[in-house]
Amino acid sequence: MTSTPSSSPLPISIQDLSFGYNKGEPTITHATFDVKEGEFIGIIGPNGGGKTTLLKLLMGFLDPWKGSISIFGQSPKKHPNGIAYVPQQLRFDKQFPITTFELVLGGRLSNLPWWGSFSKEDRERALHSLEQVHLSDYAKKPFGTLSGGQAQRALIARALTSNPKILLLDEPTSSVDAQAEADIHELLSKIRKNLTILMVTHDIRSVINHVERVLCVQGRVESMSPAELCEHFALGLYHFPLIQTPQSHLT
Ligand SMILES: Nc1ncnc2c1ncn2[C@@H]1O[C@H](COP(=O)(O)OP(=O)(O)OP(=O)(O)O)[C@@H](O)[C@H]1O
Ligand SMILES: [Mg+2]
C-alpha cells in the first residue's frame, strides 16, 4: 500500500480518506493519492474546499474518519520532525519582542531536550535557514518590523530548521505583493532539492511552471498535471467545480 517492492516508502500515501468536523458532513471524501519523493505539488480549490484540513490531516493534527494516511510508511503522528508546516495564518502579536533569529530558532523546539536549552547546533541550523531565505541581515531585527514577504520567508526558515523531508505551505503568498510572491516561488525552487513540497495556492497561474502536479481539493481530491490544468484554462473552464462529475462535461 505505501511502497512498491523495489522502493522505500512514499513520502505520502493516502487511501480512501474521509474526514469531517461535524458528524455526517464530510469535509474530505474518499481521497486517494500518493506523493513521490522530491515532488513539488500545488494544491488548489475553492474557499472551504478542505485544503487546510487536508494539510492538518497530513500533520496528524486531525484523525481521519475513514481510510489511511501514511507518511514514509508510518502514521503522521510518528513524524514530528520529518514534516514541517507553514500555516495559513500565524496568530502573532507584532509588538511581541522577538527577533527574527529567535522566531526561526523556535522551529527547533521539538528537538529540545527536557531541560530545554538550545544547542550550538540548533543555533547554527537557525542561522543556516535564515541564509537560505536571504534574511541573514535581518536576524537581529524584531520580527514584527519585517515586511509581509520577509515575514513569510522567515516562517519558511522556521519550518526548515527542523530539517524536514516534507514541507507543507498553506497559501504562503496570499498577503504579499507580486515581487515578494515571485521571490518566494524562486526560493522554493532553489530549496526543493531533498524536499517534497505541497503548497496551497489561490494563484495557480504563477506557480504552474514550478509545480509538477496539482491537487484540486473540493471535498474530493483530484490529481492533475499542469498541462491538464492549462487545458482547463484554455477552455475557459478555470472555475469550480474543476473535478469532473457525470453531470459536468469538461471536454
Ligand atoms: N475547526 C473547525 N471546526 C469546524 N469546521 C471547520 C473547522 N475548520 C474548518 N472547518 C470547515 O471545514 C471546511 C473546510 O475548511 P478548510 O479551512 O479546510 O478550507 P480551505 O480549502 O482551506 O479554505 P480557504 O481557501 O478559505 O483557506 C469549511 O467548511 C470550514 O468551515
Ligand atoms: Mg485554508
Q: Which three cell numbers stand for residue 71?
A: 507518511
* Ligand 1 pocket list (CB less than 6 A): 21, 27, 45, 47-53, 88
Best mutation site among 23, 52, 89, 204 for ligand 1 pocket (most ligand atoms within 8 Å of CB): 52
* pLDDT tier at 241, thresholds 50, 70, 90: low
Over the stretch 94-113, which tens digit does the pLDDT of each residue have?
777 899 999 999 998 876 66
Q: How far is the CA of 28 from the centre of ligand 1 (A)?
A: 10
Query: Rounded mean pLDDT of 110-121?
Result: 77
Contacts of 154 (CB under 8 A, 6+ apart): 100, 103, 104, 130, 133, 135, 138, 143, 146
Burial of 116 (0-12, 13-18, 19+ CB in 10 A): exposed
The CATH classification of domain 1-82+166-251, taken from the options 3.90.190.10, 3.10.129.10, 2.170.190.11, 3.40.50.300: 3.40.50.300
Over the stretch 50-104, which tens digit does the pLDDT of each residue have?
999 999 999 999 999 999 999 999 999 887 668 999 987 666 677 778 999 999 9
Phi-psi category of residue 105: left, alpha or beta, with phi > 0 → left and psi -120 to 50 → alpha: alpha
Indicate the domain borders of the chain: 1-82+166-251, 91-163
